[in-house]
Amino acid sequence: MLELWNVYGLPLAFMLLHIGAIVGAVLLAVAYYTYAERKVLGAMQRRQGPMTVGPFGLLQPIADGIKLLSKETIIPSQANRAVFVLAPMMLFTLALVAWAVIPIDYKLVLADINVGILYLFAISSMGVYGIIMAGWASNSKYAFLGAMRSSSQMVSYEVSMGLVIVTVLLCTGSLNLTEIIMADRPAWVQVMLFPMLIVFLVSILAECNRAPFDLPEGESEITGGFMVEYSSMTFALFFLGEYANMILMSAMTVVLFLGGWLPPFGIEALAVVPGFVWFVLKTFLIMFFFLWARATFPRYRYDQLMRLGWKIFLPFTLIWVLVVAGSLIAFDALPE
Amino acid sequence: MISAIAFYLFALMTVFAAIMVITAKNPVHSVLFLILAFFNAAGLFVLLGAEFVAMILVIVYVGAVAVLFLFVVMMLDISFSELRQGALQYVPIGLVVGGILLAELIFIFVGWHIAPSAMDNRITPMDQTVQNTEALGRVLYTDYIFAFQVSGLILLVAMIGAIVLTHRRRPGVRRQKIADQNARRPQDVLDIQKVTPGKGI
């Protein structure tokens, strides 16, 4: 019995604790990301944002959460019940399981699998199902239109995101996220990756359905998009999933381009600060970019969105993959 | 023990989902069960130690192909109950195809079991020392690069062929041409005139 506990029980207990810590941290981050969003948007529009609940409005997310929980869950009578309830759960679960492979510090990762980046990509490409299922199961025109918009947008931008990831992999020579961060990249490779960082940042905006690509939930045209029929807890799950996805995509950008937990610009003196602090700070930077973009750009038109994805990003990233691969071979800088 | 439990879980779910694909009343439910089957098949690949194939299966089939299936099934108003009327007459064909596949699998596995040296006759034996991503890359992009490129070209030709066959140019459609819009200059399209009061232009 003791042996069974030592072989399975103890590791399982540690793993459950680790999972609990990750999920707790992500949920807390999501709650305060909504607060940060309102504060940042307020500051950019010269207002104060939430100020009433708690000091500086700091308890606002908790109040919002309690409000959502205490509301009534409405399931439309024409809806396909099972799929309708399953959709938000799926979106939320997918947004959380992806965190299993994100290395927050050296060796501080739940599952250090050797195809980590593919796992992330696979999980984020499955996110589209939660949305299609929600739109279809609601049995409502607006929800269906929103789901159609969202899924075609996500599928389109995934193509260029995949090519961006391929370019980074060419420079690092591994699919493991820890090795991607630790890979030794010369300065000129960093410069060549910079255009891909821009493409990736725009693509994650589209992938997360965020402004200026938030057509799936364009209030003025299709009211609330795919989640128009959802209320209370089911709506809260969509909301949490969406923000958790944004934080996940920020972390992914940090892993691929900004060197993860390593101190910025390779300054050794800054290594006294623990690695996870750098990881969190860099993630905050990209998360701020999401809010900044929302406050700055007007919403795209649908054909403009598709044009950007298929006619500009796809050819550009394709050519850039070849350029980067060619220069890596020419300068003999291909990783082992 | 854990891997055995995981195997039976994934295998049972795959079989269950596959049965539901052909028995579900609602076509959209069928596609959703198909996705569940793909996903569990990916789990089986992970158990086999082929994590690269598993992830590619999820990215390509679940993330892209099945989305298109779902789109088509949702958009077209197909009455599946009518389609299902004559479905039973195809059962013999299905049984034959399934039987052939099963027989082939049995031949291979029994052959390996009886004569383990048959494994050495494989054209490209797996290098056990490298990860499967690298092993696949070596086989596809180094050893058989030309065959791989040719198959890619054939697919490209098929794709272009499908576009050429189905694309029709509709006359009278007004499209936005951004280059033309950007090329417009005020002097080409504006004419400034002095209008004296009391007279028209």
Whether residue B55 and residue A158 make contact (CB cut-off 8 A), yes or no, is no
Could you tell me the residue range of the domain that residue B152 belongs to? Answer: 131-169
- Domain match, B71 and B137 both: no
A115 to chain B, minimum CA–CA distance in Å?
A: 7
Q: Which residue of A84, A115, A123 to mutate against B (max B Cβ within 10 Å)?
A: A115
With beta carbons under 8 A apart, name residues in chain B contacting A119: 55
Q: Which of A118, A128, A151 sits opposite B55 (nearest CB)?
A: A118
CA distance A25 to A29: 6
Q: Residues A232-240: what's their mean pLDDT? A: 86
CA distance B72 to A151: 13
Percent of chain A with pLDDT over 70: 98
The answer to whether the beta carbons of residues A35 and A58 sit under 8 Å apart is yes
Whether residue A125 and residue B63 make contact (CB cut-off 8 A), yes or no, is yes
Q: Does B59 touch chain A (CB under 8 A)?
A: yes
**B16: CATH:** 1.20.120.1200
Q: What is the pLDDT of residues A45-91, one digit of tens each?
A: 999 888 888 888 888 888 888 888 888 888 888 888 888 888 889 88
With beta carbons under 8 A apart, name residues in chain A contacting B141: none
The answer to whether the beta carbons of residues A288 and A119 sit under 8 Å apart is no
pLDDT of residue B89: 81
Q: Residues A118-130: what's their mean pLDDT? A: 87
* CA nearest neighbour of A159 among A7, A332, A315, A336: A315
A312 to chain B, minimum CA–CA distance in Å?
A: 13
Peptide bond into A298 cis (omega under 30): no
Whether residue A136 and residue B133 make contact (CB cut-off 8 A), yes or no, is no
Q: Compute the count of residue pairs across chains A and B with CB atoms less than 8 Å apart.
A: 61
Could you tell me the residue range of the domain that residue A242 belongs to? Answer: 79-330
The answer to whether the beta carbons of residues A257 and A285 sit under 8 Å apart is no
pLDDT of residue A202: 92
pLDDT of residue A228: 79
With beta carbons under 8 A apart, name residues in chain A contacting B5: none
Average pLDDT of chain A?
A: 86
Whether residue A83 and residue B32 make contact (CB cut-off 8 A), yes or no, is yes
Handedness of CA A173, A176, A178, A180 (dihedral sign): positive
* Residue B118 in domain: no
Percent of chain A with pLDDT over 90: 19
pLDDT band of residue A200 (cuts 50, 70, 90) is very high
pLDDT of residue B158: 96
Q: Does B48 touch chain A (CB under 8 A)?
A: no
pLDDT band of residue A331 (cuts 50, 70, 90) is confident
Q: What is the pLDDT of residues A272-310, one digit of tens each?
A: 778 888 888 999 999 999 999 988 988 888 888 888 889
* Residue B74 in domain: yes
* Residue A24 in domain: no
Q: Residues A1-6: what's their mean pLDDT? A: 75
Q: Residues A168-175: what's their mean pLDDT? A: 87
* Number of domains observed in the structure of chain A: 1
With beta carbons under 8 A apart, name residues in chain A contacting B51: 113-115
* Number of domains observed in the structure of chain B: 2
Q: How far is CA A65 from the centre of its chain?
A: 21
* Residue B117 in domain: no
* Residue A335 in domain: no
Q: Does A122 touch chain B (CB under 8 A)?
A: yes
| Structure ipTM | 0.82
* Residue A37 in domain: no
Whether residue B58 and residue A125 make contact (CB cut-off 8 A), yes or no, is yes
The answer to whether the beta carbons of residues A105 and A275 sit under 8 Å apart is yes
A200 to chain B, minimum CA–CA distance in Å?
A: 18
Q: Could you read off the pLDDT tens digit of each residue along chain B, which spans 201 residues?
A: 778 898 999 999 999 999 988 888 888 888 889 999 999 999 999 898 888 889 989 988 888 888 888 888 887 766 666 666 777 788 889 899 999 999 999 988 888 788 777 777 777 677 777 778 888 888 888 888 999 999 999 999 999 999 999 988 888 888 878 888 889 888 888 888 888 888 776
Between residues B1 and A115, the one the model is more confident about: A115
pLDDT of residue B48: 86
* Residue B8 in domain: yes
* A-contacting residues in B 104-143 (Cβ below 8 Å): 131, 133
* Residue A273 in domain: yes
Which of A2-16, A125-139, B155-169 is modeled with the greatest confidence?
B155-169
* Residue A172 in domain: yes
* Residue B61 in domain: yes
